[in-house]
Amino acid sequence: MAERPILFNGAMVRAILTGAKTQTRRAVKMPEGFDFIAGNGDDLDDPSNWGGEHEDGQWWALADGDGVDQVLPCPFGVPGDRLWVRETWGIWDQGFDTSEESGFTIYRADTERPEPRRWRPSIHMPREACRLVLEITAVHVERLQTISAADAEAEGLRKFPFEDALAWAWKDGDRTGHASPTGAFRALWESTGGDWCANPFVWVVGFSVVEGPCNG
């Protein structure tokens, strides 16, 4: 079993903590000159045409213009591997005039918490400050825009009691709203700088929480 870090913003951390988020999608970084092989047909939007899985559980089915195959491992791991969550964090020194290093770790995603002297970016979180560990339950590849409404909801999206039909959103306070979970997921994807219209291949990583505030 391998263990790797993964970044989540505050809204997604809260969704994981409530059990609403059980999937994450991350863009596939394709090696230059390679693409997925249409081994069983010509439709590259159909994952069944991409070949299969390598014997160790990693996705393969890549080729360059000369038809040279190459294994493309999922950078987040395979089922059974674990991901430790990096999130925005800080040190609370309980108001004493002491070094920050002597206080308690707090997390910006929590709605009820004290304020540290400064918040620290998630990318700089060390393993010992982590409070959330996920176990990968499934991995596959698909086109971004093929996400179903059910899978979009599993990305941690919520239906808020707005006054009109545009009730789906990806974070508290998002009053723009969307008519479907898929529309809200597009807004989430674009909020991180992703290009929805490019319709890239994405890793779809399913997970469950194995370590967290409620289960030790």
pLDDT tens readout for residues 52-61: 444 444 444 4
pLDDT tens readout for residues 104-121: 899 999 988 888 888 999
Higher pLDDT, 181 or 7: 7
Mean pLDDT of 173-188: 71
pLDDT tens readout for residues 140-156: 888 899 999 899 889 98
pLDDT band at residue 123 under the 50/70/90 scheme: very high
pLDDT score at 154? 93
**Residue 41 in this model has a pLDDT that exceeds 90:** no
**Residue 39 in this model has a pLDDT that exceeds 60:** no
**Residue 7 in this model has a pLDDT that exceeds 90:** yes
Q: Which residues, 6 or more positions from 79, have their beta carbon under 8 angstroms from its beta carbon?
A: 57, 136, 137, 138, 139
Set out the domains of the chain in order of their start, with CATH numbers: 3-25+76-86+123-211 (2.30.130.30), 30-74 (no CATH)
Please name which of 36, 26, 19 lies closest in space to residue 5, comparing C-alpha atoms.
26
**Residue 165 in this model has a pLDDT that exceeds 90:** no
pTM of the complete model beyond 0.85: no
Phi, psi of 129 (to 5 degrees): -90, -5
pLDDT score at 46? 53
